[in-house]
Structure 1
Amino acid sequence: MLRTVAAVVMDSVAPFELGVLCEVFGVDRTDDGVPEFDFRVCGEHAGRPVRSGVGMLITPEHGLDALADADLVAVPAHGVTDSYPPAVLDALRVAAARGATVVSVCSGVFVLGEAGLLDGRRCTTHWRHAEELTRRFPAAHVDPDVLFVDDGSLVTSAGTASGIDACLHVVRRELGAGVATAIARRMVVAPQREGGQRQFVELAMPECTGDSLQPLLGWMLENLDTEHSVADLAHRAVMSERTFARRFAAETGTTPGRWVALQRVLHARRLLEDTQLSVEEVAHACGFGTAALLRHHFHKLVGVAPKDYRRSFACP
């Protein structure tokens, strides 16, 4: 059971990424039905300030001994360097060896690598650091194209926002969908950017950066149960098919077909979690038409079958 969470800080810690851990695990949300976490900010020396990377001091209340009984040990982003305090690395090794879940946000994964915790494990980091992570820790299996990777007792994430995704995923995995959703609602972030298999991988889907297609995208989301050919969408957008395809890719990072399929899968996940609709009914509601087509796309994007996902993540 996830109850005690220890965040480890050293010189060059990134305050925002530390703040991600504080926000998910350190805020009292018991009035929303969220279990209270025993959240500890830990440093090599309790009460001794460490320097952040942006000109402020952060004073950890606890020393490394507070990692001894933590269920989850988290390392936020730090400046990437060739060495980290040996005492910190030893404490991380001990925590991992006794079975604690270890989480990193962004470049915090380099600390885990120096502690030897990445060998033979799947992991990720911010795309700017992926090549260096691969070079420095060749025994690790680095995937640079994902938001985060769940390798059981090791969870690593990419940039800041994906750190939120990873933390909410761990909450959902350990405490259920209801708790993760309650935290996400208070944070005003999406609670469902994760999936069900042990070694979780989800491709990042770039958000629309322009505004010319926003009305069309909104209409498509409201009409997922209908077919959307490129010709029809181009006509609605008052563009040629070629111009529309180029504009759509520029603003969403993908094709209309892939974008629609992803949105349908996301809608299917919500229905599987929140309703008692059969898989066939979910397929029709999402625009897939048949349960077989839903299963194909759902497994491709989420990694598990719809029924298995519902069994794991349906709200009680």
Structure 2
Amino acid sequence: MSTVALAVTDGMLHFELALAYEVFGADLTHVADPWYSVVVCGPGAVRAGRFRLDPDHGLDRLSRADTVIVPGWADVDVDPPADLVDAVRAAHEAGARVASLCTGAFVLAAAGLLDGRRATTHWAHTWELAARYPRVDVDPDVLYVDNGSVLTSAGKAAAMDLCLHLVRLDHGSSVANTVARRLVVPPHRDGGQSQFVTTPVPAPGNHPLAELFPWVMERLDHPLTVEDLARRARMSARNLSRHFRSVTGTTPLQWLLTQRIRHAQELLETTDDGIETIAAATGMGTATTLRRHFNRTVGVPPDAYRRTFRSRTRPGSGGPPPPGELVGDRGDVFRPVPA
């Protein structure tokens, strides 16, 4: 029987901890026998969010586990506890497969397990992870990264993606699919974190582009160029690029493309407009162009994005379906068959 050890300490995020325990700790011997044996390891009584937890074993037990799961770490502004970092490192050196969920990647990075490796964490903290641990190849646009003996996941729901991936590795796709159905989650999700990252327009402020941003947002359906933006801002294209880099961290064309994609996401979520119509409304010109840029930026095609994020409402009704009706992922309305 494979042993999964959950490494806990004060400051762990309870969502990721509970999620991992639900996947590996439930009695699923009817699905796969033998199933996992789960142990919770910590330095003593700990708090995860508002919950108190009494671990089964000390952190030294991690080194005798087959798989070690490190849940999300709440305060990424401070270094994780040294005893946790040392225990996770020792477990990996003893041959354990080590996986982090969400910001648990900071623990793995502190242990040196991510040096020279590709890794990820919640998109809101990828910059901090890369800045603090420059030897880590941080990928902000994936749901999880599998390096064999070291695995990392993005935030929250992506932790479920990684846990199901581990089940798939250990027991095969059929078992992983069965576990996913039990939990009412997809066994595999397409795309990366980009489809979940918000990209707001920079807040108004005392900078040279303050009046340009709203002007552009009202004209996303126009074929704007850098020269158009520079003319509107009353500056040279070179100065425009310099100010854009300072305010947004990117180039004018990349920022403009990001706003077009963001607007396309809104239309896919809130309207029944076809791809050609959305392409025109966002200044993409054609459905082919929209699909190419959307897929490259978001990680999934527009149709797949709409199925994932579209509100489950009856098309054109403006509200939920009548009682007794179900709305499918593609907007199809299913009514119960009369007895």
TM-score scaled by structure 2?
A: 0.60
The answer to whether the aligner puts 1:8 opposite 2:7 as a matched pair is yes
Q: Which residue of 2 aligns with 1:212?
A: 271
1:149 pairs, out of 139, 145, 158, with: 145
The Cα offsets for residues 118-175 of structure 1, whole Å up to 9 and x where unpaired, read as 1111100111111110111111111111111111111101111111101111211222
Which one has the largest radius of gyration? 2
Query: 1:203, CA displacement in angstroms?
Result: 2.8
Contact kept, 8 Å, 2:141 with 2:194, in 1: the verdict is no
- CA distance in 2 between partners of 1:190 and 1:66 (Å): 33
2:157 pairs, out of 138, 161, 169, with: 161
Amino acid at match of 1:242: A
The answer to whether the aligner puts 1:254 opposite 2:275 as a matched pair is no
Contact kept, 8 Å, 1:34 with 1:183, in 2: the verdict is no
Amino acid at match of 2:53: I
User: Secondary structure at 2:143's aligned position in 1?
Assistant: strand
- CA distance in 1 between partners of 2:14 and 2:279 (Å): 46
- CA distance in 1 between partners of 2:155 and 2:166 (Å): 17
The aligned runs of 1:11-22 (5 Å cut-off) are 11-22=10-21
Q: Which residue of 2 aligns with 1:269?
A: none
- CA distance in 1 between partners of 2:281 and 2:300 (Å): 18
Contact kept, 8 Å, 1:107 with 1:129, in 2: the verdict is yes
Q: Which residue of 2 aligns with 1:78?
A: 73
User: Secondary structure at 1:149's aligned position in 2?
Assistant: strand
Amino acid at match of 2:68: V
Instruction: Say if 1:258 and 1:50 are closer, same or farther in 2 by CA, change over 3 A.
Output: closer
* Greater RCO structure (CA 8 Å; 6+ sep): 1
- CA distance in 1 between partners of 2:87 and 2:60 (Å): 8
Contact kept, 8 Å, 1:146 with 1:204, in 2: the verdict is yes
The Cα offsets for residues 205-240 of structure 1, whole Å up to 9 and x where unpaired, read as 638772423xx8xxxxxxxxxxxxx7xx54xxxx58
Amino acid at match of 1:188: V
Contact kept, 8 Å, 1:34 with 1:182, in 2: the verdict is no
1:193 pairs, out of 189, 193, 197, with: 189
Contact kept, 8 Å, 2:70 with 2:101, in 1: the verdict is yes
Instruction: Say if 1:50 and 1:262 are closer, same or farther in 2 by CA, change over 3 A.
Output: same
Amino acid at match of 1:212: T
Amino acid at match of 2:111: A
1:203 pairs, out of 181, 192, 201, with: 192
The aligned runs of 1:214-229 (5 Å cut-off) are none
Instruction: Say if 1:86 and 1:35 are closer, same or farther in 2 by CA, change over 3 A.
Output: same
User: Secondary structure at 1:254's aligned position in 2?
Assistant: helix
- CA distance in 1 between partners of 2:100 and 2:278 (Å): 46
Instruction: Say if 1:184 and 1:241 are closer, same or farther in 2 by CA, change over 3 A.
Output: closer
Query: 1:35, CA displacement in angstroms?
Result: 3.6
The percentage of aligned residue pairs carrying the same residue is: 42
The Cα offsets for residues 222-265 of structure 1, whole Å up to 9 and x where unpaired, read as xxxxxxxx7xx54xxxx58613887x999xx93699617979xx
Contact kept, 8 Å, 2:32 with 2:171, in 1: the verdict is no
User: Secondary structure at 1:118's aligned position in 2?
Assistant: coil
Q: Which residue of 2 aligns with 1:170?
A: 166
Q: Tell me the number of residue pairs that the alignment of Structure 1 and Structure 2 aligns.
A: 228
Instruction: Say if 1:72 and 1:245 are closer, same or farther in 2 by CA, change over 3 A.
Output: farther
- CA distance in 1 between partners of 2:195 and 2:133 (Å): 28
TM-score scaled by structure 1?
A: 0.64
Instruction: Say if 1:44 and 1:241 are closer, same or farther in 2 by CA, change over 3 A.
Output: closer
- CA distance in 1 between partners of 2:174 and 2:164 (Å): 11
Q: Which residue of 2 aligns with 1:39?
A: 38
The answer to whether the aligner puts 1:67 opposite 2:62 as a matched pair is yes
Q: Which residue of 2 aligns with 1:242?
A: 280
Amino acid at match of 1:90: D
Instruction: Say if 1:88 and 1:241 are closer, same or farther in 2 by CA, change over 3 A.
Output: closer
User: Secondary structure at 1:51's aligned position in 2?
Assistant: strand
- CA distance in 2 between partners of 1:107 and 1:3 (Å): 25
Amino acid at match of 2:153: S
User: Secondary structure at 1:25's aligned position in 2?
Assistant: helix
Aligned-pair RMSD on alpha carbons? 3.2
Instruction: Say if 1:159 and 1:34 are closer, same or farther in 2 by CA, change over 3 A.
Output: farther
The Cα offsets for residues 259-284 of structure 1, whole Å up to 9 and x where unpaired, read as 17979xxxxxxxxxxxxxxxxxxxxx
Unaligned runs of 5+ in 1: 195-201, 217-229, 264-316
The aligned runs of 1:134-145 (5 Å cut-off) are 134-145=130-141
- CA distance in 2 between partners of 1:117 and 1:241 (Å): 44
The aligned runs of 1:283-298 (5 Å cut-off) are none
User: Secondary structure at 2:124's aligned position in 1?
Assistant: coil
User: Secondary structure at 2:301's aligned position in 1?
Assistant: helix
Amino acid at match of 2:93: A
